Amino acid sequence: MVQAALKNLSYLSETDAEIAKLIGAEQQRQENTLELIASENHVSPAVLEAVGSCLTNKYCEGYPGKRYYSGCGNYDEIEALAIGRARKLFGCNYANVQSHSGANANLAVFFALLEPGDVFASIELSDGGHLTHGSPVNLSGKWFKPVPYPLIYDESQPNYGHIDFDALRRVCLEHRPKLIMCGYSVHSRIIDFAQFRSVADECGALLLADIAHIAGLVATGVHPSPFPHCHVVTTTTHKTLRGPRGGMILTNDEKLATQIDKAVFPGNQGGPLMHAIAGKAVAFGEALQPAFNEYCRQIVTNAIVLAEDLMARGYHIVSNGTDNHVMLLDLRHTDQELSGHTVSTWLESAGIIANKNTVPRDSRSPFVTSGLRLGTPALTTRGFKEPQIRHVAGLLDRVINSGGHVDAIAEVNDQVKSLCAQFPLAY
């Protein structure tokens, strides 16, 4: 089967058989496993072609019409298309599509809007934040001063797992952050951007939304837009947006847009990855089609069905459900001895790819964790709908309840391969 995959790698097979073999093996792995990592997806063949094109050969430091190298005419048009499509997709006035990643996009915004030592408010990593939201091991936590705001931790409360806006207001009025961050790596509820803006205005802060996870849902109206409430929006271009790996920064403020452009280049990057920007343009064009709207609605439907089925089987999900594409299983409610690391290892052996994740107030390290993060974008890309999602819930349950038993895992793996064969990838 790996050899069949190599037919698409004819040049590479001749010049570097080792790498070609590994790429072929990875293609087979993706084709024969169920991808439930919420931050991953399968791009279209058109995006793959753009990213793998000759555009990788060119240096294009600067911006369209203002490059530092000759020969950039075609690249100017490509980047202009990406910018125009991004603005149309998200309903904003300015877009910088050059960030190599979401992390670089966040760094550029910090560079543009903050000075070293400035205070900003964000949620902690264990509560669903991101490394670039102030983790002490990240530049954002080393060069700046994060102050955390909490979730509602009381499981008896109807808004358990939601943002504690009363606490957010107290934190921000006490510390007067220059910037407030919202948008998360694992938060399964609608983000109330208007409430965040109210607090930001009261304490004199700018508001940044990191919508990396929900970008596709925002673009199609399945999740409310951060505009007009947020001053700046960052995102990745993969995940629910189903584009190539990369970042982007959006705003409606002309002054901030100028500062951000300078912060991206020359502030924290050199030449843009024009093959990736072409892939972004292709993905934005795909996302502007009516079918993408239906796709994003199915992502959310699938997530709700998966969460409800798992909860009916007795699993505990932080916030008791989901409004978007992601959910977080708190395994402490299933078995105090069970860790996210252990369960994700069992699942991978069964052909189901999910990632361990910390849960609120987790006593375990990020290498072990007490939680499991699940998402539905990649399964929806395969064409899964409610019946298949319920089947997946049953497979997850069987693996977890098997205690890692080899025979049970092998049986689940056979079912996974059968499902994958029924819903093959497009490439």
- Tell me: pLDDT of 2 over 50: no
The answer to whether residue 23 is domain-embedded is no
Q: Do residues 324 and 409 both lie within one domain?
A: yes
The answer to whether residue 326 is domain-embedded is yes
Sign of CA dihedral 27, 31, 32, 37: positive
Which residue, 287, 315, 331, sits at the end of a domain? 287
Share of the chain above pLDDT 70, in %: 98
Give the CATH number for residue 75.
3.40.640.10
3-class DSSP assignment, residue 314: coil
Sign of CA dihedral 359, 361, 365, 369: negative
- Tell me: pLDDT of 15 over 50: yes
Q: Is 245 a catalytic residue?
A: yes
Considering 67, 85, 178, 239, which one is annotated as catalytic? 239
The pLDDT of 145-164, averaged and rounded, is: 95
The whole-angstrom separation of Cα 425 and Cα 31 is 6
Give 313-355 pLDDT, tens digit per residue.
Answer: 999 999 999 999 999 999 999 999 999 999 999 999 999 999 9
Q: What does the pLDDT read at residue 198?
A: 98
The pLDDT of 76-89, averaged and rounded, is: 98
Q: Do residues 179 and 74 both lie within one domain?
A: yes
The answer to whether residue 427 is domain-embedded is no
The answer to whether residue 21 is domain-embedded is no
Q: Do residues 334 and 354 both lie within one domain?
A: yes
Considering 67, 197, 242, 245, which one is annotated as catalytic? 245
Give 266-308 pLDDT, tens digit per residue.
Answer: 999 999 999 999 999 999 999 999 999 999 999 999 999 999 9
- Tell me: pLDDT of 1 over 70: no
Which residue, 231, 261, 287, sits at the end of a domain? 287
Give 39-67 pLDDT, tens digit per residue.
Answer: 999 999 999 999 999 999 999 999 999 99
Q: Do residues 280 and 299 both lie within one domain?
A: no
Q: Do residues 115 and 197 both lie within one domain?
A: yes
Considering 35, 127, 164, 210, which one is annotated as catalytic? 210
The answer to whether residue 24 is domain-embedded is no
Q: Is 242 a catalytic residue?
A: no
Considering 49, 61, 155, 253, which one is annotated as catalytic? 61
Range of the domain at 245: 54-287
Q: Do residues 229 and 98 both lie within one domain?
A: yes
Q: Is 236 a catalytic residue?
A: yes
The answer to whether residue 418 is domain-embedded is yes
Q: What does the pLDDT read at residue 10?
A: 83
How do 326-330 and 371-375 pair as beta strands?
antiparallel
Q: pTM (2 decimals)? A: 0.95
Give the CATH number for residue 388.
3.90.1150.10
Q: Do residues 87 and 204 both lie within one domain?
A: yes
The whole-angstrom separation of Cα 343 and Cα 334 is 11
Q: Do residues 275 and 343 both lie within one domain?
A: no
Q: Do residues 399 and 263 both lie within one domain?
A: no
Q: Do residues 196 and 271 both lie within one domain?
A: yes
- Number of domains making up the chain: 2
Q: Do residues 349 and 416 both lie within one domain?
A: yes
Where do the DSSP E strands lie in 276-354? 326-330, 352-353
Q: Is 65 left (phi over 0), alpha (psi -120 to 50) or beta?
A: left
Read off the pLDDT band of 75 (50, 70, 90): very high
The answer to whether residue 4 is domain-embedded is no
Which residue, 271, 287, 303, sits at the end of a domain? 287
Considering 236, 237, 358, 381, which one is annotated as catalytic? 236
The answer to whether residue 401 is domain-embedded is yes
Considering 58, 59, 155, 386, which one is annotated as catalytic? 59
Contact of 226 with 193, CB cutoff 8 Å? yes
Q: What does the pLDDT read at residue 283?
A: 98
DSSP string covering 203-228, please?
Answer: HT-EEEEE-TTTHHHHHTTSS---TT
Q: Is 61 a catalytic residue?
A: yes
Q: Do residues 330 and 274 both lie within one domain?
A: no
- Tell me: pLDDT of 5 over 60: no
Q: What does the pLDDT read at residue 3?
A: 42
